[in-house]
Amino acid sequence: MAVYTLPELDYDYSALEPHISADIMQLHHSKHHQAYVTGANTALEQLAAARDTGNFATVSKLEKDLAFNLAGHINHSVFWKNMSPDGGGEPTGTLNDALSEYFAGFANFQKQFSEVALSIQGSGWSVLAWDTLGARLGVYQLYDQQNNLPAAQIPLLQLDMWEHAFYLQYRNVKADYVKAWWNVVNWTDVAARFERARTQTAGLI
């Protein structure tokens, strides 16, 4: 029995056009995300086999495989929900207040988040997360799927900056991809994640 499964999208592959093409969405979800799901399940199975045989010779590789693939599964699961054909604009209410408090206004938050995305050397993500220790918002530059992000950060908004996320449509012009992506950000989803993170993680760390 597979532990992890590929989640369905809440919208059609073409729903985010013209900002993200149906071709990108179809490949990204059905092939790339599926590969992380399969990879995470395989790593768990191989770790179970290592326990069964008592042979832990490859445990370091398996732990790397698990971290990479499970992180890929988590990142994409958040990313799909962070987008909507009815997205864009600016958040309201408590989330808007918090972004203003921690980033000196929504425009400055958007600028920092975009600059983090555009300055990644290689593959990675820009991430807005709730720091459960400090009880505050932070923006992080996540490398690959799992590096450069402290533990116990609850992701609220993630932007995939791997080439598979934009290259078919935007080629090397990352800035146009990032600019277009803001038009599909589902602030309702981000606000709901913020509310859960803010109210349900006190004392966790």
Site residues, Mn ion (CB under 5 A)? 160, 162, 165
Position with the least CB separation from Mn ion? 160
**Beta partners for residue 125, in sequence order:** 142, 160
**Beta partners for residue 153, in sequence order:** 131
Write out the E strands in the chain: 124-131, 136-143, 153-160
Smallest distance, Å, CB 123 to Mn ion? 9
Smallest distance, Å, CB 26 to Mn ion? 13
Smallest distance, Å, CB 149 to Mn ion? 16
Looking at the Cβ atoms of 106 and 143, the one nearer to Mn ion is 143
Calculate helix-pair angle for 34-53, 59-81, nearest 10 degrees.
Answer: 150
Report the alpha-carbon distance of residue 130 to residue 192 in Å, rounded.
12
Looking at the Cβ atoms of 36 and 103, the one nearer to Mn ion is 36
Sole residue written with tokens 């995939």:
160
Measured at the alpha carbon of residue 40, what is the angle toward residues 35 and 149, in degrees to the nearest 5?
Answer: 100
Looking at the Cβ atoms of 28 and 193, the one nearer to Mn ion is 28
Q: What DSSP element (H or E) covers 106?
A: helix 106-118
Report the alpha-carbon distance of residue 82 to residue 75 in Å, rounded.
10
Smallest distance, Å, CB 193 to Mn ion? 19
Looking at the Cβ atoms of 122 and 203, the one nearer to Mn ion is 122
Smallest distance, Å, CB 33 to Mn ion? 7
Sole residue written with tokens 């277009």:
180
Looking at the Cβ atoms of 113 and 162, the one nearer to Mn ion is 162
